[in-house]
Amino acid sequence: MRVDPELCIGTGDCVRLAPHAFRIDDRSGVSVPQPGAVATARELLEEAAFNCPTRAITVGTDE
């Protein structure tokens, strides 16, 4: 899973859906994966990716 910092606008939707997987970086204002985010249920990561307004989140096929 990755968050494209060029696409992310920091709405925080992913943080609200999966707070253990994402956080908003104070410095850049965009979402970044939390350590161990891949341990989050894949369905929840996919929901966060789907609800990202700029489609900045990618969930890989091997996760």
How confident is the model at residue 38, as a pLDDT? 87
Q: What is the tens place of the pLDDT at every residue in 27-62?
A: 999 999 999 998 999 999 999 999 999 999 999 865
> Whose structure tokens read 């969930």?
59
How confident is the model at residue 63, as a pLDDT? 46
Q: Tokens for 27?
A: 């410095």
Number of domains in the chain: 1
* Gap between the Cα atoms of 41 and 21, Å rounded: 10
Tell whether pTM > 0.95: no
Under 8 Å CB-to-CB from 60, ≥6 apart: which residues? 1, 2
Give the domain range for residue 31. Answer: 2-58
- Report the CATH number at residue 21: 3.30.70.20
Whether 9 maps to a domain, the answer reads yes
Whether 63 maps to a domain, the answer reads no
Whether 6 maps to a domain, the answer reads yes
